[in-house]
Structure 1
Amino acid sequence: MTRGTPPAPPPWRRNRAAGRVLAVLEAAGGEARYVGGCVRDWVLGRPTGDIDIATTLVPERVIEALQQAGIKAVPTGVEHGTVTAALEGQGVEVTTLRRDVETDGRRAVVGFTTDWAEDAARRDFTVNALYADQAGQLYDPTGRGLGDARARRLCFVGDAATRIREDYLRILRFFRFHAQIGLDLDPPGLEACAALAEGLEQLSAERVWHETKRLLAGPWAAETLHGMAESGILGRVLPECRDLSVSDALPGACDAELRLAALLPKAGAGAAEDVARRWKLSRREAARVVNAVEPLPDDAGTDAAAIRRIVYHSGGEAAADRLALAHARGGAVTPEAAETARNWRPPRFPLSGRHATARGIEAGPAVGELLKAVENWWIAGDFTADREACLAELERRISETESPGSSPPRS
């Protein structure tokens, strides 16, 4: 087992809750080490997120030890060995060392073990199979994790094809870690992903979108998508994508929904709706992608007043997405247009139906038509007319309709 210590102090030294949980587990007679993303990111010199712990104690013993120490234990995944310790306003996941008993490409039946090498052997990538103690002593049971991390290389643990067949989601995770962290993809791993891509069809839509969403939001997403296209992966998960040039022109890191819209055909609301249904996007996510691919008025990107009109009708987020895509496609849209749309807050139209009915207009379609005509006049004037000016315009239009032989006023 390779050992080592990175130069920077480990992040869990500043996390009192994590340190307390580790100490409780060790006091209960188990071995416990930090594992996974927090160790990987520490070695890579990246900011760390959640802190996870692996232990030789079985889940029931973990729960007992935490409760005896006055720590709330939440059985978040006991069948897979995971218990969440809730304390000091955070959750620390504790997972018993595991070995795979049975796999089918989608899920695994696990057994528990006290062998750290056995636990490491079932993990996906070598950089995720690193462990560390409270002092920051590193443990590398595969003998490759530390070297791969320092070389910024992403390799499967053991045989890549075997790891993928255990769970085909690992194909997307392979590319997601490149998109998020920028690790170089190991060529044998890339070849195995391409060869076994058909297995992605076994995965649930929710799992595919959950992983793809994180991939699309990564700072290296554009580069990653080219690798996925060249290996045939992108064509399997997103056959609607025919062109990566719009995605390439977006900023390095952007929202996943905007990146997804950039991969779909221009004015491709139908394609966006199909993808949203297939991947079971949330209502908000689906609406954002569909709105983003809607076409813009011809003057949208060069006229500030036109941008404000789009924001008023579509909302700031939808307008900003459509302008960002138009700029990425090389349209006559300034780079600042999307930011203008995102920051402008549209005013509220100052009139309502009561202003028309107070003037004697009978409630019904006529009221709506009058108000819409005045609102269009207000919008055409770039929202500058105040309430009194809008009332005067309403009065003018009512007077025109009351004049003998007059035609309905035009907006």
Structure 2
Amino acid sequence: MRLKTSEFQSLFNDGLNGLAELFEKHQHELRIAGGAVRDLLSGKRPEDVDFATTATPEDMKRMFQSAGIRMINNKGEKHGTITARLHNENFEVTTLRVDVQTDGRHAEVEFTTDWQKDAERRDLTINSMFLGLDGTLYDYFKGYEDLQNRKVRFVGSAEQRIQEDYLRILRYFRFYGRVALEADDHEPETLAAIRENGRGLAGISGERIWVEVKKMVVGNHAAHLLELIYNLELAQYIGLPPDGNVEEMKRVWQNAKGHSPKPMTILAALLHCPEEVEKMDIRLKVSREEKSLALFLVKHRRELCRSQDEPDSLKPFTDFIIDSRELDSQSKVCELLKYQGEEKLLAELCRWSTPRFPVSGHDLRRIGIMSGKEIGATLQELRDIWKKSRYQMDKDELLSHIRP
């Protein structure tokens, strides 16, 4: 087949046209590769476009140098990748490769001119296709058929692909959430291969695992996939508690899935205590903000909730924000409301702006209160009165409450 969609045509600009002309001039084939092909076949314009070529890195360097094209950030050269900059745009081009040796984390590669050999070393059929710059699809493993049928399958043997890089287990889950229509439509042999090789994830760096887990958790079928991770006994290898609260996680996912929850909002439901947050951080090396959110949710998910007396009132949450010294307290409380399934209160809080407490220590000194201790106690007393007024009292009204 030949692709002629507007999304495909929109990729062509002065930079890509110049790149294509240069490769054609030197008689090296150039094709769009991997995820960009999948996106284009799905009717999406890809955010990133990678290219594959029969030219070796040395060929490409000679071509670019002779054409006066700048090459940048060539750390990937030993793996066959050269990045060229044309018309203020970067183009990442990789020589076709075959894996000579793999250890489950890294691969030693050898360059080839065989497009099918390169496709064989890729993880999933939907990621193994190439697209010529004339729109011709090159599909060696029925990737387009799988994409149309919303199937996620490994190229060739699932066990072999996984053993080449154990992170592919999590990539399978991530793409399953992106592509599959049904929550539980896996091929039994794929799940068997994942179960048998799951311990290999223990040797993968936490940073790489966290990238995949975050993307999986905000995709479709996240609750099913996290439960599957527990059923396949993978949790212990990727930094999640072995006895994670799966039922709580499923409930929270139902509560939050329509409100763009942060990944940690869903994962926090698996955690029983702050110590498990610490253990997860040690393994996955999450960001400071992500760890802080997890600790906040684990601590406040039960105690900070709507009032039984005024169930439709935001007051417990806004009072917490007013009293908090953290700059991001409102965003954390929003995640808490997603966690709790408080849709109405969440909508209200998103519209709410933090009011400014109108009284300062300077105001108290002007009326004769000079002791630092007394100023602190008086400010707290006035702040409590202000909160009870739903933040409506102004400075004069509050100062009138000070006893002479």
TM-score normalised by length of structure 1:
0.85
Q: Which amino acid aligns with 1:101?
A: V
2:257 to 251, 255, 266: 251
Structure 1 gaps of 5+ residues are 328-333, 400-411
- CA distance in 2 between counterparts of 1:8 and 1:224 reads 33
CA 1:116–1:302: 2 relative to 1, 3 Å: same
Structure 2 gaps of 5+ residues are none
The answer to whether the 8 Å contact 1:84/1:91 transfers is yes
Q: Is 2:91 aligned against 1:92?
A: yes
- CA distance in 1 between counterparts of 2:288 and 2:136 reads 46
The answer to whether the 8 Å contact 1:257/1:289 transfers is yes
Deviation at 1:62, TM superposition (A): 2.4
Give percent identity, aligned residues only. Answer: 33
Q: Which amino acid aligns with 1:241?
A: G
Aligned residue number for residue 376 of structure 1 = 384
- CA distance in 1 between counterparts of 2:9 and 2:82 reads 19
Deviation at 1:168, TM superposition (A): 0.6
Deviation at 1:119, TM superposition (A): 1.0
1:283 to 280, 285, 288: 288
- CA distance in 2 between counterparts of 1:22 and 1:229 reads 47
- CA distance in 2 between counterparts of 1:276 and 1:165 reads 26
CA 1:191–1:369: 2 relative to 1, 3 Å: same
2:274 to 266, 269, 272: 269
SS of residue in 2 equivalent to 1:378: helix
Aligned residue number for residue 302 of structure 1 = 312
2:153 to 148, 152, 155: 155
Deviation at 1:350, TM superposition (A): 2.2
Q: Give the alignment of 1:1-400 within 5 angstroms.
A: 4-6=1-3, 8-9=5-6, 11=8, 13-16=10-13, 17-74=15-72, 75-88=74-87, 90-140=89-139, 142-182=140-180, 185-234=186-235, 236-237=237-238, 238=240, 239-243=242-246, 244-249=249-254, 250-251=256-257, 254-265=261-272, 268-293=273-298, 294-295=300-301, 296-300=303-307, 302-314=312-324, 315-327=329-341, 334-362=342-370, 364-393=372-401, 396-397=402-403, 399=404
Could you tell which deviates more after superposition, 208-217 or 306-315?
Answer: 306-315
Deviation at 1:226, TM superposition (A): 3.2
Could you tell which deviates more after superposition, 146-155 or 290-299?
Answer: 290-299
Deviation at 1:277, TM superposition (A): 3.0
Q: Which amino acid aligns with 2:322?
A: Y
Aligned residue number for residue 404 of structure 1 = none
Q: CA RMSD in A?
A: 2.4
SS of residue in 2 equivalent to 1:154: coil
The answer to whether the 8 Å contact 1:317/1:341 transfers is no
Aligned positions, number: 384
Deviation at 1:87, TM superposition (A): 4.3
The answer to whether the 8 Å contact 2:103/2:165 transfers is yes
- CA distance in 1 between counterparts of 2:118 and 2:212 reads 23
The answer to whether the 8 Å contact 2:126/2:143 transfers is yes
Deviation at 1:68, TM superposition (A): 4.4
Q: Which amino acid aligns with 1:35?
A: A
- CA distance in 2 between counterparts of 1:319 and 1:355 reads 31
CA 1:190–1:60: 2 relative to 1, 3 Å: same
- CA distance in 2 between counterparts of 1:84 and 1:153 reads 33
Deviation at 1:272, TM superposition (A): 2.5
- The runs of at least 4 consecutive aligned structure 1 residues that moved more than 6 Å come to none
- CA distance in 2 between counterparts of 1:64 and 1:198 reads 44
CA 1:70–1:344: 2 relative to 1, 3 Å: farther
- CA distance in 1 between counterparts of 2:82 and 2:39 reads 22
Alpha-carbon deviations, 1:109-159, whole Å to 9, x = none? 22222211121111111111100111210012x332222222221111121
- CA distance in 1 between counterparts of 2:17 and 2:270 reads 44
Q: Which amino acid aligns with 1:20?
A: G
The answer to whether the 8 Å contact 1:180/1:219 transfers is yes
Alpha-carbon deviations, 1:355-399, whole Å to 9, x = none? 233334335333222222222221222111123333334xx14x2
- CA distance in 1 between counterparts of 2:397 and 2:89 reads 55
Aligned residue number for residue 409 of structure 1 = none
- CA distance in 1 between counterparts of 2:250 and 2:106 reads 36
Q: Which amino acid aligns with 1:82?
A: T
- CA distance in 2 between counterparts of 1:101 and 1:319 reads 51
Deviation at 1:69, TM superposition (A): 4.1
SS of residue in 1 equivalent to 2:400: helix
CA 1:50–1:180: 2 relative to 1, 3 Å: same
- CA distance in 2 between counterparts of 1:203 and 1:382 reads 51
The answer to whether the 8 Å contact 2:56/2:95 transfers is yes
Q: Which amino acid aligns with 1:323?
A: L
The answer to whether the 8 Å contact 1:175/1:228 transfers is no
CA 1:270–1:359: 2 relative to 1, 3 Å: farther
SS of residue in 1 equivalent to 2:343: coil
Alpha-carbon deviations, 1:327-376, whole Å to 9, x = none? 2xxxxxx4211222233110122232222333343353332222222222
SS of residue in 1 equivalent to 2:266: helix
Deviation at 1:9, TM superposition (A): 4.6
